[in-house]
Amino acid sequence: MQINLSRREFLKAGILSLLAPAGAAALAKIAPEHQTTLTPPPILQDHDHSSHESMGTVGKVNHAANQYHPAEMLKEFDYGKVSQLDNGQTLREYLFMAEDREIEIAPGVYFPAWVYGSPSSPESIRAGKIVGRVPGPSIRCVEGDRIRITFVNAGSHPHTIHFHGIHGASMDGVPGNGDGSIFPGQSTIYEFDAAPFGCHLYHCHALPLKRHVHKGLYGAFIVDPDPEKYSGREKEIAKTRNHLYTENESVNEMMMLMNGFDTNFDGDNEVYAVNSVAFAFMNEPIKIKHDQLQRIYLINVTEFDPINSLHIHANFFDYYDHGTTLQPTLKTVDTIMQCQAQRGIVEISFKDFEPGRYMFHAHQSEFAELGWMGFFEVEA
């Protein structure tokens, strides 16, 4: 995309740069404000020659400046403020805030995102303030829990939160229903019982939808099954899925949200990732134990492309579409695809595998090579 400079803009800039004495200090002042907030990427001239004979991005993303890390997003969930209702039901209260925030999505590439943040997310607890992130905080609850989300719009556009779950029309978080679009400075409360159990998502449903989703307003909504409702083998499976049971600790759980960023707003993504940072798990492989069951909550929120996919190298896995069943919907596959907003649970084991790096990526080569690619490092 080429940006043409109008003659007037050119003259303005030209005059300023010619008149150096007045101009030097002056130019700094006229420069758009958000430019100064950019951290300049490291100068790349000192790169080791051998390291650049490959594909991928150059440099490192400043996770500290983002205040969130894709690897932490894998394992950490937002459980909300938990209390008991009079009827014995668990109440999970969340405060969700939407705001405008620039995030680094590939080394040196900044995206003017719209983000959700919650004070009960691990990042916010660590930072001591609400940290807006993409994807938004991963809500984790149990089926039947009362979910009460106070949503405050601190952004510059009207937003909502629309949950993929079971709820009434007024709680649907779409314009024209219930409180509809929540305007900047306004707030609302979304309240419903978490159902059905599974791997779900939430996203902003304000219009234009495509823009509000791809700018970053989405996140995981994971509802654990309640083992008390099942019996026999299913009860045991439900225990491993429920974060309140010790059986769950034997499984290594990972939340992978597949997303993309259209940095030049031409309707085509320049960056693909899981958890927002291109090649995050290429640069820092996910270390896994070979004798532990691996469970991936996989969610596709890629805009512009109708489908996204996951392929894991050298191994096969079971897949639970939408995560709403306790028995796999697909057995022994090594590639699954998801349309936009489709999600599911992947269960895979590297038991007795040779230690080393096992790749996983979208099997759309384009997505893979634009950032959606990573490694599991199976340890001995």
Partner 1 sequence: MDTKKDTNTQNFPVRKIPTWVIAVFPLVLLAGLIALFVNTNPIQVTTSELPPIEDLSFQRVNLTRDHIEIKVTNSGPDQVVIAQIIIDEAYWNFEIDPYNSLGRLESATIHMDYPWVETEPFEIVIITSSGTTFAHEVELATESPTANAQQFLAYGLVGLYVGIIPVGLGLLWFPALRRMSQKGIGFVLALTVGLLVFLLVDTFLEAIEVAHLLPGVFQGIPLTLFAAILTWLIITAIGSQQTIAERSSPRGRKFIASLIATGIGFHNLGEGLVVGAAFALGEAALGSFLVIGFILHNITEGIGIAAPVTRDKPGLSWFTLMLFIAGGPAILGTWIGGFAFSPLLAVIFLGVGLGAIWQVIFEVGLLMQRDAQKENISVVNWVNVLGLAIGIALMYFTAFLVKF
- Choosing from 132, 198, 323, 371, the residue that interacts with partner 1 (CB under 8 A) is 371
Count of CB atoms within 10 A of residue 263's CB?
16
Residue closer to partner 1 by CB (options 226, 270) is: 270
Q: How far is the CB of 288 from partner 1 (least distance, A)?
A: 25
Which is nearest to 360 in space by CA: 249, 291, 280?
A: 280
CB 271 within 8 A of CB 263: yes
* Residue 11 Rama label (left phi>0; alpha psi -120 to 50; beta): alpha
- Choosing from 257, 274, 278, 345, the residue that interacts with partner 1 (CB under 8 A) is 278
Is 210 an interacting residue with respect to partner 1 (CB under 8 A)? no
Number of residues interacting with partner 1: please give it, by CB under 8 A: 61
Is 170 an interacting residue with respect to partner 1 (CB under 8 A)? no
Site string for partner 1, 45-74 (x = CB under 8 A): x-x---xxxxxxxxx---------------
Is 332 an interacting residue with respect to partner 1 (CB under 8 A)? no
CB 92 within 8 A of CB 125: no
CB 322 within 8 A of CB 358: no
Which is nearest to 346 in space by CA: 296, 380, 302?
A: 296
- Choosing from 228, 249, 291, 366, the residue that interacts with partner 1 (CB under 8 A) is 366
Whole-angstrom distance, CA of residue 183 vs CA of residue 332: 47
- The amino acid at residue 70 is P
Is 37 an interacting residue with respect to partner 1 (CB under 8 A)? no
Of the candidate spans 39-47, 184-192, 199-207, 234-242, the one that interacts with partner 1 by CB under 8 A turns out to be 39-47
* Cα angle: 289, vertex 291, 295; to 5 degrees: 70
Of the candidate spans 19-27, 124-132, 161-169, 230-238, the one that interacts with partner 1 by CB under 8 A turns out to be 19-27
Q: How far is the CB of 19 from partner 1 (least distance, A)?
A: 5
Torsion sign (Cα): 61, 63, 69, 71: positive
Residue closer to partner 1 by CB (options 34, 126) is: 34
CB 94 within 8 A of CB 120: yes
Q: Which of residues 75-134 bind partner 1 (CB under 8 A)?
A: 106-111
Is 328 an interacting residue with respect to partner 1 (CB under 8 A)? no
Q: Which distant-in-sequence residues (6+ apart) come within 8 Å of 357 by Cβ?
A: 285, 375, 376, 377, 378
Residue closer to partner 1 by CB (options 17, 231) is: 17
When computed from its CA atoms, the radius of gyration of the chain, rounded to whole angstroms, is: 22
Residue closer to partner 1 by CB (options 32, 128) is: 32
Q: How far is the CB of 70 from partner 1 (least distance, A)?
A: 16
Is 9 an interacting residue with respect to partner 1 (CB under 8 A)? yes
Which is nearest to 346 in space by CA: 306, 299, 313, 314?
A: 299
Whole-angstrom distance, CA of residue 323 vs CA of residue 90: 22
Q: Which distant-in-sequence residues (6+ apart) come within 8 Å of 194 by Cβ?
A: 92, 141, 142, 143, 144, 145, 146, 147, 165, 223
Q: How far is the CB of 260 from partner 1 (least distance, A)?
A: 12
CB 77 within 8 A of CB 140: yes
The tokens 């459980």 sit on which residue? 79
Q: How far is the CB of 112 from partner 1 (least distance, A)?
A: 8
Is 13 an interacting residue with respect to partner 1 (CB under 8 A)? yes
Is 2 an interacting residue with respect to partner 1 (CB under 8 A)? yes
CB 350 within 8 A of CB 358: yes
Residue closer to partner 1 by CB (options 54, 87) is: 54
- Choosing from 96, 190, 279, 281, the residue that interacts with partner 1 (CB under 8 A) is 279
Q: Which residues pair with 347 in a beta bridge?
A: 295, 318
Site string for partner 1, 233-272 (x = CB under 8 A): ----------------------------x-xx-x---x--
Which is nearest to 198 in space by CA: 320, 82, 318?
A: 320
Q: Which residues bind partner 1 (CB under 8 A)?
A: 1-5, 9-10, 12-17, 19, 21-23, 25-27, 29-35, 38, 40-41, 43-45, 47, 51-59, 106-111, 261, 263-264, 266, 270, 278-279, 365-366, 369-371
